[in-house]
Protein backbone atom coordinates (compact mmCIF):
# COMPACT_ATOMS: atom_id res chain seq x y z
CA UNK A 1 0.00 0.00 0.00
CA UNK A 2 2.83 2.42 0.89
CA UNK A 3 4.58 1.61 -2.38
CA UNK A 4 1.38 2.21 -4.35
CA UNK A 5 0.76 5.54 -2.58
CA UNK A 6 4.34 6.64 -3.33
CA UNK A 7 3.82 5.74 -6.97
CA UNK A 8 0.63 7.80 -7.05
CA UNK A 9 2.51 10.75 -5.55
CA UNK A 10 5.12 10.35 -8.30
CA UNK A 11 2.37 10.30 -10.91
CA UNK A 12 0.91 13.51 -9.42
CA UNK A 13 4.29 15.15 -9.95
CA UNK A 14 4.58 13.82 -13.50
CA UNK A 15 1.08 14.97 -14.44
CA UNK A 16 1.52 18.37 -12.81
CA UNK A 17 -1.14 17.92 -10.12
CA UNK A 18 1.43 18.89 -7.49
CA UNK A 19 4.67 20.80 -7.83
CA UNK A 20 7.67 21.39 -5.63
CA UNK A 21 7.77 24.52 -3.50
CA UNK A 22 9.64 25.47 -0.36
CA UNK A 23 11.08 22.02 0.23
CA UNK A 24 7.68 20.36 -0.06
CA UNK A 25 4.82 19.99 -2.43
CA UNK A 26 2.11 22.43 -3.34
CA UNK A 27 -1.13 21.56 -5.01
CA UNK A 28 -1.65 22.65 -8.59
CA UNK A 29 -5.06 21.02 -8.70
CA UNK A 30 -7.78 23.60 -9.29
CA UNK A 31 -11.20 22.67 -7.94
CA UNK A 32 -13.81 22.85 -10.68
CA UNK A 33 -11.22 22.86 -13.45
CA UNK A 34 -11.89 20.39 -16.26
CA UNK A 35 -8.16 20.31 -17.02
CA UNK A 36 -7.26 19.39 -13.43
CA UNK A 37 -9.98 16.72 -13.34
CA UNK A 38 -8.68 15.26 -16.58
CA UNK A 39 -5.13 15.18 -15.21
CA UNK A 40 -6.30 13.37 -12.08
CA UNK A 41 -8.11 10.78 -14.22
CA UNK A 42 -5.02 10.35 -16.41
CA UNK A 43 -2.79 9.88 -13.36
CA UNK A 44 -5.18 7.24 -12.00
CA UNK A 45 -5.34 5.49 -15.37
CA UNK A 46 -1.53 5.33 -15.41
CA UNK A 47 -1.65 3.83 -11.92
CA UNK A 48 -4.20 1.23 -13.14
CA UNK A 49 -1.83 0.25 -15.93
CA UNK A 50 1.01 -0.28 -13.46
CA UNK A 51 -0.97 -2.41 -11.01
CA UNK A 52 -3.67 -4.99 -11.47
CA UNK A 53 -5.48 -5.41 -9.21
CA UNK A 54 -5.04 -1.97 -7.65
CA UNK A 55 -4.81 -1.34 -3.91
CA UNK A 56 -6.04 2.25 -3.93
CA UNK A 57 -9.50 3.29 -5.15
CA UNK A 58 -10.10 6.45 -7.16
CA UNK A 59 -11.72 8.06 -4.12
CA UNK A 60 -8.68 7.36 -1.97
CA UNK A 61 -6.48 8.70 -4.78
CA UNK A 62 -8.34 11.97 -4.43
CA UNK A 63 -7.92 11.92 -0.63
CA UNK A 64 -4.17 11.31 -1.07
CA UNK A 65 -3.88 14.32 -3.37
CA UNK A 66 -5.70 16.51 -0.83
CA UNK A 67 -3.51 15.24 2.04
CA UNK A 68 -0.31 15.95 0.09
CA UNK A 69 -1.56 19.44 -0.77
CA UNK A 70 -2.32 20.23 2.91
CA UNK A 71 1.22 19.26 4.01
CA UNK A 72 0.08 18.75 7.60
CA UNK A 73 0.34 15.01 8.12
CA UNK A 74 1.72 13.66 4.86
CA UNK A 75 4.53 14.71 2.54
CA UNK A 76 7.08 13.28 0.16
CA UNK A 77 10.81 13.03 0.62
CA UNK A 78 13.78 11.04 -0.53
CA UNK A 79 14.44 7.83 1.37
CA UNK A 80 17.29 8.30 3.83
CA UNK A 81 18.88 5.05 2.68
CA UNK A 82 18.40 4.82 -1.10
CA UNK A 83 17.17 8.31 -2.08
CA UNK A 84 14.00 6.94 -3.71
CA UNK A 85 10.77 8.93 -3.42
CA UNK A 86 8.65 7.94 -0.45
CA UNK A 87 5.61 9.21 1.35
CA UNK A 88 6.59 10.58 4.73
CA UNK A 89 4.52 10.83 7.88
CA UNK A 90 5.26 14.45 8.85
CA UNK A 91 4.29 13.78 12.47
CA UNK A 92 6.57 10.76 12.91
CA UNK A 93 9.55 11.03 15.26
CA UNK A 94 11.35 8.03 13.81
CA UNK A 95 13.61 7.74 10.81
CA UNK A 96 11.58 6.57 7.84
CA UNK A 97 12.82 4.50 4.96
CA UNK A 98 10.99 3.52 1.81
CA UNK A 99 9.20 0.19 1.41
CA UNK A 100 12.13 -1.21 -0.54
CA UNK A 101 14.63 -0.50 2.25
CA UNK A 102 12.34 -1.20 5.18
CA UNK A 103 13.34 -4.17 7.27
CA UNK A 104 11.76 -4.67 10.67
CA UNK A 105 10.65 -1.74 12.81
CA UNK A 106 11.63 1.90 12.13
CA UNK A 107 15.00 2.98 13.54
CA UNK A 108 14.86 5.93 16.02
CA UNK A 109 16.83 8.98 14.85
CA UNK A 110 18.12 9.80 18.37
ZN1 LIG B 1 14.88 3.35 0.27
- Ligand 1 centroid–CA 76 distance in Å is 13
Q: How confident is the model at residue 14 (pLDDT cuts 50, 70, 90)?
A: very high
Residue 109's pLDDT is 47
> What is the rounded average pLDDT of the residues 32-53?
92
Residue 20's pLDDT is 78
Burial state string for 71-109 with b = 16 or more CB within 10 A and e = fewer than 16: beebbbbebebeeeebbbeeeeeeebbbeeebeeeeeee
Neighbours of ion ligand 1 (CB under 5 A): 79, 81-82, 84, 98, 100-101
Where in the chain are the domains?
2-89
- Ligand 1 centroid–CA 91 distance in Å is 19
Residue 11's pLDDT is 93
Least confident range from 16-20, 61-65, 101-105: namely 101-105
- Ligand 1 centroid–CA 86 distance in Å is 8
Residue 74, beta-bridge partner list: 89
| Residue scoring higher pLDDT (64 or 27) | 64
- Ligand 1 centroid–CA 81 distance in Å is 5
Amino acid sequence: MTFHAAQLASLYLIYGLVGTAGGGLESRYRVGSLESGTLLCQAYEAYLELHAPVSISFEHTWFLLLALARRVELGVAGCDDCGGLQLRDLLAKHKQTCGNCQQGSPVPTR
